[in-house]
A = this chain, B = another copy of it.
Amino acid sequence: MTEERIGDARTRAADNVVSMYERQIIDGTLAVGKPLPPEREIMQAFGVSRTVVREAVQTLSAKGLVEARPRFRPVVRTPGYDAAIEAVGSVVNRLLTVPGGVRNLFELRIMMEAALVRDAALHADKNHVARMKQALADNEAAISDSQRFFETDIAFHRVLYEVPDNPVLPPIHQAYTDWLSSHWTRMPPDPERNHVNYRAHSRIFETILFRDPDAAELALRDHLDDAWNQVRLTFAEP
């Protein structure tokens, strides 16, 4: 939480307005989907100019608390983990440009998915297994179509994020793919490589079926390390 500005920074007039509505939104006084009052009304309520009101609204929007489409009344946004992901978007995009940025993020993903396959090997139920099987079949069917292979690849990994039944995880998967896809799609299509990746997916699936977390983690790390070696060539880092 960094609500208080550090050091010598004075307060802005908009801060009052922001924190007021922030509270109202969090405690539910302003229900989800409800629009904020008209700007001119807020002006009078707080005794500030419209400039300040608009600044406050924009801040609320940037914080992800309200959705402010141009020309429309800002409405209270439904709290969701994807809103959080969206909020970090541009910062992460910048991080990806610093040396080692992509590598660090990918490393984090490897660590996370390693944990996920372990979890899947231990706790995946029939339902999850069925979905993985389906995703795997789709993946195989798309080997010759690199575009579709890319999509089914993502879909296969997504199942892993759904096993623990924690609503935080799917948006994280979404974020990973969003952020890293630009590097992936930079690679030229290559059915041969698709085939290798499909085999890797297949092996992961088997280890989960066998309920072998160690083998699952190993298979996944092999797969993602390999993927990294494929994709690292698309940018200039050592």
Contact = CB atoms under 8 A, between A and B. Distances in A.
Contact of A107 (B9, B112, B164): B164
Contacts of A70: 5, 9-12
A132 interface: no
Contact of A104 (B98, B166, B179): B166
Number of copies: 2
Contacts of A168: 104-105, 107-108
The interface size bin for chain A is 35 or more
B79 A111 contact: no
Interface stretch (A58-66, A185-193, A224-232): A58-66
21 contacts: A1-B178, A1-B179, A8-B69, A11-B70, A22-B90, A26-B97, A27-B97, A54-B55, A58-B58, A58-B59, A62-B63, A63-B89, A64-B91, A79-B94, A79-B97, A79-B98, A83-B91, A85-B88, A87-B87, A108-B169, A112-B112
